[in-house]
A and B are shown apart, each in its own frame.
Chain A
């Protein structure tokens, strides 16, 4: 477990500029809205909350899809994988690091949203559910992107991940609505977009359970695929 934590912490450190920019953006935005003389509208704040939650899902896709590629391109991966760690541990480090970054972002978003919603007297009771749902959708989207990134360029991995998540959604529209439960990133995302601060989040809890299980499955698939691949480095 220690190597995974070391790699996760290293990954977080590598992403620190991105995290600092997001944190400052949230802090400045919240401060500006909280301190302005005009009271913000509930609809505007609600939109802001949903936007943060959706951003996390998109960031999850991009962060994990580029991690292996960046380490391979810079050749830093060689010294890491020359140590007594399994490739699965290396991937777990990346996945844990990106999850920690995104959950930190969602936590900050939750704090900022809670401050602002309280200011307009809106309920914050379902806010935690929105952020949790977004966090779980992030876990799944990141795992799918990680799986594809073990064999593809990051841009293609993002495209493949988006396509993979779109297929059940398309089937749900064209064939059977219950297809939404397969890879339910779109379903969770739609529920977050449709969220009303005065009502509970309209999302069955089994969707979240399915997303967690599928995230684990995609992570295992990523590990198996990555173990069987040559590190694509030019030779002398």
Chain B
């Protein structure tokens, strides 16, 4: 099956006026996004996420390597008609919201009556009906982001490339956008989503890639990444957490007289016996699920340590 988006050993370095390399944004970056999936793209600031998105959209050219978007090389103008793009900072011409969405739809070749119907539907879905005639220059950041999302969807795209789509939205609007993205996925669309909101990524993405210093540091399904810690989490009651102090384990915050212990899978038997010996009762034992935040911090810190070591 042809990937919806494919980066093939892409490298990108920014050069100064004299042609010297100033910053390396991507190094030998390869990634495939499958049709119909929601793919989460994570990484700290400066990791190269936006550069990767801009290369895919044809705004900047790769220094090495290449790739395809909906089966065509990056930068193909005709292919962009089948893509919806939302940049991190939405910047629009100062015209009324409805005209703005129509303008971008028309640039993508959508015509009336289809354009009119889709614009009205999106204005409703984004909660912009009441401000359709207001110029976007007077909009808050959250409202601009809604218009930005509407213009990304107005051409009914096969692939959505979204850079921080909910960063300026309130929690209610975030839930609405999340549902909208899940509906888009159910309709067979592919979504490539860059975000710092880890809970959002965890909730809706099928696969996730962590980008650190221009390279993929980790890639997998949400379940794979969260369960790949090689640890187990034991919940026990009837014992004080201090009695576990001599045993090298991680005691997690808990309440109601319950103790949550995280330890290596290989040491689980030893732990269970220790709990029983102390008169405790084991409530449950499951593979430990690291949060995305933990993985994110772990990868970012490892990268920093590596840099300091070098």
CA distance A99 to B272 in the complex (A): 81
With contact pairs A13-B95, A230-B61 given, residues A84 and B89 touching in the complex (Cβ less than 8 Å):
no
Nearest Cβ distance between residue A80 and chain B, in whole angstroms? Answer: 7
Question: Is residue B300 within 8 Å, beta carbon to beta carbon, of the partner chain?
Answer: no
Question: Is residue A21 within 8 Å, beta carbon to beta carbon, of the partner chain?
Answer: no
Q: Is the CB of B106 within 8 A of A81?
A: no
* Proximity bits, B70-113, A CB within 8 Å = 1, else 0: 00000001111111010111111101000000011011110000
Chain B: CB-nearest residue to A87: B77
CA distance A79 to B151 in the complex (A): 9
Q: A84 contacts which chain B residues (CB < 8 A)? A: 77-82, 107-109
Q: B148 contacts which chain A residues (CB < 8 A)? A: 79
Question: Is residue A38 within 8 Å, beta carbon to beta carbon, of the partner chain?
Answer: no
Q: Is the CB of B91 within 8 A of A76?
A: yes
Q: What class of interface size applies to chain A in its complex with B?
A: 20 to 34
Q: A85 contacts which chain B residues (CB < 8 A)? A: 77, 80, 107
Question: Is residue B139 within 8 Å, beta carbon to beta carbon, of the partner chain?
Answer: no
Q: B77 contacts which chain A residues (CB < 8 A)? A: 84-86, 89
Nearest Cβ distance between residue B66 and chain A, in whole angstroms? Answer: 15
* Proximity bits, A30-51, B CB within 8 Å = 1, else 0: 0000000000000000000000
Question: Is residue B213 within 8 Å, beta carbon to beta carbon, of the partner chain?
Answer: no
CA distance A70 to B91 in the complex (A): 12
Interface residue stretch chosen among A2-10, A124-132, A199-207, A211-219:
A2-10
Chain A 10-28 residues near chain B, CB threshold 8 A: 10, 13-14
CA distance A190 to B95 in the complex (A): 41
Nearest Cβ distance between residue A235 and chain B, in whole angstroms? Answer: 5
Chain B 28-77 residues near chain A, CB threshold 8 A: 45-51, 54, 57-61, 77
Question: Is residue B4 within 8 Å, beta carbon to beta carbon, of the partner chain?
Answer: no
Chain A 68-117 residues near chain B, CB threshold 8 A: 74-76, 78-86, 89
Chain A: CB-nearest residue to B151: A79
Nearest Cβ distance between residue A196 and chain B, in whole angstroms? Answer: 45
Question: Is residue B25 within 8 Å, beta carbon to beta carbon, of the partner chain?
Answer: yes
Question: Is residue A174 within 8 Å, beta carbon to beta carbon, of the partner chain?
Answer: no
Q: Is the CB of B93 within 8 A of A81?
A: no
Q: Is the CB of B80 within 8 A of A82?
A: yes
CA distance A74 to B91 in the complex (A): 7
Nearest Cβ distance between residue B103 and chain A, in whole angstroms? Answer: 7
CA distance A199 to B103 in the complex (A): 48
Chain A: CB-nearest residue to B81: A84
Chain A: CB-nearest residue to B77: A86
With contact pairs A235-B25, A235-B51, A236-B46 given, residues A79 and B108 touching in the complex (Cβ less than 8 Å):
no
Q: B85 contacts which chain A residues (CB < 8 A)? A: 78-79, 82
Q: Is the CB of B83 within 8 A of A82?
A: yes
Q: Is the CB of B57 within 8 A of A236?
A: no
Q: Is the CB of B91 within 8 A of A75?
A: yes
Q: A78 contacts which chain B residues (CB < 8 A)? A: 59, 85, 87, 91
Q: Is the CB of B54 within 8 A of A235?
A: yes
Q: A74 contacts which chain B residues (CB < 8 A)? A: 91
Q: Is the CB of A236 within 8 A of B50?
A: yes
* Proximity bits, B274-288, A CB within 8 Å = 1, else 0: 000000000000000
Q: Is the CB of B103 within 8 A of A10?
A: yes
Q: B54 contacts which chain A residues (CB < 8 A)? A: 231, 233, 235
CA distance A233 to B60 in the complex (A): 9
Which has the most chain B C-beta neighbours within 10 Å: A6, A230, A236?
A236
Q: B104 contacts which chain A residues (CB < 8 A)? A: 79, 83
Q: Is the CB of A6 within 8 A of B50?
A: no
Q: Is the CB of A75 within 8 A of B87?
A: yes
Q: A2 contacts which chain B residues (CB < 8 A)? A: 106, 109
CA distance A38 to B290 in the complex (A): 89
CA distance A76 to B104 in the complex (A): 11
Q: Is the CB of B107 within 8 A of A76?
A: no
Nearest Cβ distance between residue B202 and chain A, in whole angstroms? Answer: 21
CA distance A165 to B103 in the complex (A): 37
With contact pairs A6-B106, A84-B107 given, residues A14 and B87 touching in the complex (Cβ less than 8 Å):
no
Chain A: CB-nearest residue to B107: A83
Q: A83 contacts which chain B residues (CB < 8 A)? A: 80-81, 104, 107-108
Nearest Cβ distance between residue B29 and chain A, in whole angstroms? Answer: 14
Smallest CB-CB A-B distances: 3 pairs: A84-B81, A82-B85, A75-B91
A binding-site residues for B, Cβ under 8 Å? 2-3, 6-7, 10, 13-14, 74-76, 78-86, 89, 228, 230-231, 233, 235-236
A–B complex contacts, Cβ < 8 Å, 30 sampled: A2-B106, A2-B109, A3-B107, A6-B103, A7-B107, A10-B103, A14-B93, A74-B91, A75-B91, A76-B91, A78-B85, A78-B87, A78-B91, A79-B91, A79-B104, A79-B151, A83-B81, A83-B104, A84-B77, A84-B79, A84-B81, A84-B107, A84-B109, A85-B77, A230-B60, A230-B61, A231-B59, A231-B60, A235-B46, A236-B49
Given contacts A76-B92, A231-B59, 6 further A-B contacts (CB under 8 A): A6-B103, A74-B91, A76-B91, A79-B92, A81-B57, A236-B50
